A and B are shown apart, each in its own frame.
Chain A
């Protein structure tokens, strides 16, 4: 079981890195680079360029994304991760709404899924940690995923 926990812990760090990268990298385009294509996404929401520039909305969104990414890298909070997944889906949907091909949304599926996957892995890692600490596991056996069986061999 300890080996299982170690694997979950490694998986969690991989997903923390993925979520942090997606948000810090994307946020930098707003806060650091001030990418002009972002104006079209604001325009898709009915916010004109003048309002975006005047209120520093691009910087605000960018800093918020970078902050969320750094927080997740340090300490993944489930409630924040749900919010991040929702934000990612919403912000990526703006691309096709702003006139870009729908594939721009489709190819970013990993960015949207990473926070949700991290919630599942984090919860399981914590459960296993409790199992190891208190030597008991309360959760019932789960149904196997479609290809989980081939990895096993009956003894």
Chain B
């Protein structure tokens, strides 16, 4: 039974056996396979798809690099690197294991890349349309449960 529920004098949730313990606040959520797999596939595809454009190199990305002071000649070289990292992370989460710290990275990176668009002069709608890019990895992290130790964050 979750410690939080014990402290509150709560009832044991259906499907949670006596003695089982989960991170506070996340008890039982990871036990919903459709939700788990939808979020996992979405995170993986988002990063594989986005990374593919980096590997292919995309001229539209140049203003985003400009926002952080990176000149175009360096940006062209950085694009495949960023793309490769994105694709690798997407494959890691989708095929190997959705490591918590990687999901947190995905949420932060998704937020940064969405924020940089209006900063580069694009309409604010570009940022708003991309809310799922950081919200879905964050939701998946909620479903998996935030790590309570360094070891859990890396698992």
- Chain A residues proximal to chain B, CB less than 8 Å: 1-4, 6-8, 10-11, 14-15, 17-22, 24-26, 28-29, 32-33, 101, 103-114, 116-117, 120-121, 124, 131, 135, 137, 139-148, 150-155
| Given A3-B27, A21-B132, residue A145 in contact with residue B33 (CB < 8 A) | yes
- Are the C-beta atoms of B31 and A14 separated by less than 8 Å? no
Instruction: Provide a sorted-by-A list of 6 A–B residue pairs whose CB atoms are within 8 angstroms.
Output: A15-B139, A113-B136, A117-B136, A140-B15, A144-B30, A145-B32
| Given A1-B5, A7-B142, residue A110 in contact with residue B155 (CB < 8 A) | no
Contact of A25 among B13, B18, B48, B127 (CB under 8 A): B127
Which A residues touch B138, using CB under 8 A?
14
Which B residues touch A153, using CB under 8 A?
20-21
Question: Number of residues in B with C-beta < 8 Å to the partner?
Answer: 65
Chain A contact residues: helix, strand, loop or mixed: helix
Q: How far is the CA of A4 from the CA of B12 in the complex (A)?
A: 11
Which B residues touch A26, using CB under 8 A?
125, 129
Which A residues touch B37, using CB under 8 A?
145
Nearest-neighbor residue (CB-CB) of B53 within chain A:
A103
Contact of B29 among A4, A140, A143, A152 (CB under 8 A): A4
Nearest-neighbor residue (CB-CB) of B25 within chain A:
A7
20 further interface pairs, Cβ-Cβ under 8 Å (given A103-B49, A106-B52, A144-B31): A1-B5, A1-B11, A2-B5, A21-B130, A25-B128, A26-B125, A101-B53, A101-B56, A106-B45, A106-B49, A113-B42, A121-B35, A143-B31, A143-B33, A145-B31, A145-B32, A146-B36, A147-B144, A152-B21, A152-B22
- Are the C-beta atoms of B136 and A114 separated by less than 8 Å? yes
Asked if B4 is an interface residue, CB under 8 A from chain A, the answer is yes
| Given A21-B131, A140-B14, residue A155 in contact with residue B19 (CB < 8 A) | yes
- Are the C-beta atoms of B31 and A148 separated by less than 8 Å? yes
- Are the C-beta atoms of A3 and B38 separated by less than 8 Å? no
A99 to chain B, nearest CB (A): 15
